[in-house]
């Protein structure tokens, strides 16, 4: 298991992402999609923050505490015009 480094959402803009899918299992990807939609609803309705664990192009794993404002087909949008590719997200808690 890789070490998870906690970062602030403002630091995400400096990270590089690749196009590879980090979740090999189809059921894990379905769960991630469900969790993203749930987190979006919590963020928009209750302003609740979630923990997003994701992998960058250099295969480092990071975790950020933030509110998800919108979930698109390829990206998750956070505050301050910050986005994370969905295929890079490992887990949402």
Dump pLDDT digits (tens) for 76-88. 999 888 999 999 9
Instruction: Give the number of other Cβ atoms within 10 Å of residue 78's Cβ.
Output: 20
User: Could you tell me whether strands 70-71 and 75-78 are parallel, antiparallel, or unpaired per DSSP bridges?
Assistant: antiparallel
What pLDDT tens digit does each residue of the chain (93 aa) get? 689 999 999 999 999 999 999 999 999 999 999 999 999 999 888 889 999 999 999 999 999 999 999 999 999 999 888 999 999 999 999
* Tokens coding 76: 């998750």
**Residue 35, both tokens:** 């969790």
The CB-based long-range contact list for 37-45 (8 Å cut-off, 24+ gap) reads 37/71, 38/92, 39/68, 39/71, 39/92, 40/68, 40/69, 40/70, 40/71, 42/68, 43/67, 43/68, 43/69, 44/69
State the pTM of this model: 0.94
**The two structure tokens encoding residue 5:** 């480094």
- Alpha carbon distance 42, 37 (integer Å): 9
């Amino acid at each position: 298991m890789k070490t998870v480094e906690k970062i602030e959402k403002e630091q995400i803009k400096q990270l590089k992402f690749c196009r590879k899918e980090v979740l090999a299992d189809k059921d894990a990807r379905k769960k991630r999609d469900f969790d993203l939609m749930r987190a979006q609803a919590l963020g928009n309705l209750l302003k609740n923050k979630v923990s997003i664990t994701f992998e960058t192009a250099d295969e480092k794993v990071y975790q950020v505490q933030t509110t998800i404002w919108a979930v698109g087909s390829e990206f998750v949008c956070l505050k301050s015009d910050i986005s994370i590719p969905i295929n890079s997200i490992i887990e949402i808690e």
